[in-house]
Amino acid sequence: MSPCRAACLSVLISAMLATAAHAATVGREQDIVDLKLGQRVMVDDGTCPAGQVKEVRGSKMSDKGVVRTSSCVARYGPKSK
């Protein structure tokens, strides 16, 4: 494999992984249809304290599918000076 082809392939793989790792935001936990292993989804349903949002993660595999875990994490908004 030529070095140019290997570099293009690595850039393509990196771009795909960066897109998949980006967390989505939904309004209700019931809106999460197909949670994958390792995926993180932010749920803005008002159950966490001010300045935080619920993060639902696909934590491990079981016989019934992906096990979900959730916790409140800091809400990242636009940075201000």
Task: Please report the pLDDT score of residue 48 as a whole number.
Answer: 92
Q: So what's the pLDDT on residue 19? A: 43
**Which residue has tokens 């980006």?**
22
* Cα–Cα dist 40/66, whole Å: 12
The span from the CA of 29 to the CA of 21, in Å, is 19
Residue 7: CB atoms within 10 Å: 10
- What digits encode the pLDDT tens for the residues 4-35? 776 666 665 655 544 444 568 888 888 888 89
Give me the residue spans of the domains in the chain.
21-74
Q: What is the pLDDT of residue 62?
A: 92
Question: Given the structure tokens 């992906």, which residue do they identify?
Answer: 66
Q: Are 41 and 66 in contact (CB under 8 A)?
A: no
Tell me the two tokens of residue 8: 């293009």
pLDDT above 80: residue 54? yes
**Residue 55: pLDDT above 50?**
yes
